[in-house]
Structure 1
Amino acid sequence: MTTFYEPTASEFEHLRRCVDLAREALDDGDEPFGSILVDAHGTVRFEDRNRVKHGDQTRHPEFEIARWSATNLTSEERASSTVFTSGEHCPMCSAAHAWMGLGRIVYAASSAQLVQWSAERGAGPSPVAPLPIATVAPAVPVAGPVSAFADELRELHLRRAGD
């Protein structure tokens, strides 16, 4: 049974932006994922969406956040930040997040939900195990999934082009 997280009003707005970025990615022919980095003062410092359609499968928005933070934030700023994302980080992104010392992660849809939606649309298995963030990066505080976005994200993932 999934336990859903109830976000604060500001967390909800940040997740709303992530889902909008995911829709933007899908509308551009990419996979529907979006993420933002918010500093300790609530300011959005960086945002991106999936950009893997041209063959570079590392162009996940969460990985781009980790890369960007390396040259644009101090270690203290990274640690006090929060990454909001439409889908729970994959193992690659979880590892990058932890290696960069980024703070909390709040996600709208879980890896388990994403696996279920992929199966519903007949996609084959992922080349990477769908491990929860806590398995890959156990020291990173995590919150999610958020039930309010489940139907919308499911619809986006069911519309996604074949793998």
Structure 2
Amino acid sequence: MSEQQNLSAQDRVHLRRCVDLAREALDDGDEPFGSLLVDARGAVRFEDRNRVQGGDATRHPEFEIARWAAEHLSPAERRESTVYTSGEHCAMCSAAHAWVGLDRIVYATSTEQLTSWHREWGLPAGPVAPLAINAIAPGVPVAGPDPELADEVRGLHARLHGVEQG
């Protein structure tokens, strides 16, 4: 279950960076998603943004984090790490996160919010079921969304789809 009340000041600092990475992705012609991997000491170990514009729809930053963590961190380090992301993991990224053995996920906006915006804007459903992280990876602790960032993230997605904000 998501727990927005459990977002710390440090969580919000990392989420802010994720939204900045999402904006960077959008400015570069990609979908607006950005993510960080933070170790137990609070150090950012890896960060990335969406890179799907080249045609590989699996180039999500959360999936890249899972790949990087599998190659560079021990299982113990992965169990102590937190992934921060501008948007809740999709099913593919949730599965990768769980298979690699990463711990907590903190997200700025939820899958429910994103699908609601898409419905409001008359956009078709995507090719993958819009499931919450814990529907795919029930043992992964999650926190989010962050209401302080919702309007900004919504604006990035509106810009992606050419939707007027009113």
Q: TM-score w.r.t. structure 2 length?
A: 0.93
Contact kept in structure 1, 2:3 and 2:143, CA below 8 Å: no
In structure 2, the residue matched to 1:24 is 24
Question: Is 1:69 aligned to 2:90, yes or no?
Answer: no
* 1:26-75 Cα deviation digits (max 9, x unpaired): 01110000000000000000000000011100000000000000110000
Structure 1 segments (4+ residues) deviating >6 Å: none
Could you tell me how far apart the structure 1 residues matched to 2:3 and 2:88 are? 14
Q: Single out whichever of 88-97 and 116-125 deviates more from structure 2.
A: 116-125
TM-score, L = length of structure 1: 0.95
Separation of aligned partners in 1, 2:150 and 2:91: 21
Q: 1:42 to 1:132 in 2, by over 3 A?
A: same
State the 1:3 CA deviation.
6.9
Asked if structure 2 preserves the Cα contact closer than 8 Å seen for 1:5 and 1:147, the reply is no
How does 1:9-158 map onto structure 2 within 5 Å? 9-158=9-158
Question: In structure 1, what is the Cα distance between the partners aligned to 2:122 and 2:27?
Answer: 20
- How far apart, CA to CA, are the structure 2 residues paired with 1:8 and 1:97? 22
How many angstroms does 1:161 deviate by?
A: 3.8
Post-superposition Cα deviations, 1:83-126, rounded to whole Å, max 9, x if no partner, equal 00000000000000000000100000000101112223332101
Tell me the distance in 1 between the aligned counterparts of 2:3 and 2:94.
21
- Cα distance in 2 for partners of 1:120, 1:42 equals 37
Structure 2, unpaired ranges of 5+: none
Tell me if structure 2 keeps the 8 A contact 1:25–1:51.
yes
Amino acid at match of 2:111: S
CA distance in 1: counterparts of 2:138 and 2:33, whole angstroms: 23
Identity %: 66
Aligned length: 161
